[in-house]
Homo-oligomer: A and B are copies of this chain.
Amino acid sequence: MSVQPRGEETRTRILYAAQEAFARYGYDATGVAEICRRAGVTKGGFYHHFPSKQDVFLEMLECWLDGLDQQMEAGRTGEKTVLEELLDMTAMMPAVFRDAGGRLPLFLEFLTKAGHSHAVWQATVAPFRKYHDFFADMIKDGMEEGSLRDVDPDLASHLLLAFVVGLLAIGLLDPQGADWGQVTQKGMGMLLEGLRKSKEDE
């Protein structure tokens, strides 16, 4: 039995139904009627919780990104050096990639369809800037504690994020082109090796 209040339960059911329908038919081809049918709610019930299909998608997106956030924050235990923490996060990359990769085509369809509204822009760009700041701060901490060499933290953070985003895009375009999980892990290792403070730097 659910411990959620009744309204919350319906909301969650709509989100799950929409996720399944979007994954199956794509964003554009999924109508509110189909989501209602799968969730077992009336249109009135749907619109009580969400003003539009776009809002359902935005809330799904927010859930995914919150999950990513929590994984990133969990990586910052403070019990290791920043370099070690970054290497640990690298080991999680293949799993993150598997999750994100399956959702990326849908996300791209949503972006090209739902386009240029301010709400969509906010939901997609704001998390990005947050990830950027997260890694820039982390790199700054690593320089202070002495595990990373002196670099421009903003630039190094752009480099890390661009690498991850680029691999996601290429892996999506050409899944057979390489073992992308392995390329990610080894490539991140190569990048972090470049950030590691060496004897020469001292």
* A positions within 8 Å CB-CB of B: 105, 108-109, 111-112, 124-125, 128-129, 132, 151-152, 154-156, 158-159, 161-170, 173-174, 177-178, 183, 186-187, 190-191, 193-194, 198, 200
Residue of B nearest to A126 (CB): B174
Q: Which 3 A-B pairs have the closest CB atoms?
A: A166-B166, A162-B166, A194-B194
Q: How far is the CB of A24 from chain B (nearest CB, A)?
A: 15
> How far, in whole Å, are A129 and B170 apart by their CA atoms in the complex?
10
| 14 cross-chain CB contacts under 8 A | A124-B173, A125-B173, A128-B170, A129-B174, A129-B177, A156-B190, A158-B170, A158-B183, A159-B187, A162-B167, A162-B187, A165-B169, A194-B194, A198-B200
Q: Which of B105, B165, B193 contacts A112 (CB 8 A)?
A: B105
Q: Is the interface of A mostly helix, strand, loop or mixed?
A: helix
Q: How far is the CB of A202 from chain B (nearest CB, A)?
A: 13
Contact B186 A152 (CB under 8 A): yes
> How far, in whole Å, are A165 and B173 apart by their CA atoms in the complex?
12
> How far, in whole Å, are A158 and B191 apart by their CA atoms in the complex?
12
Residues of B within 8 A of A152 (CB): 186
> How far, in whole Å, are A174 and B166 apart by their CA atoms in the complex?
15
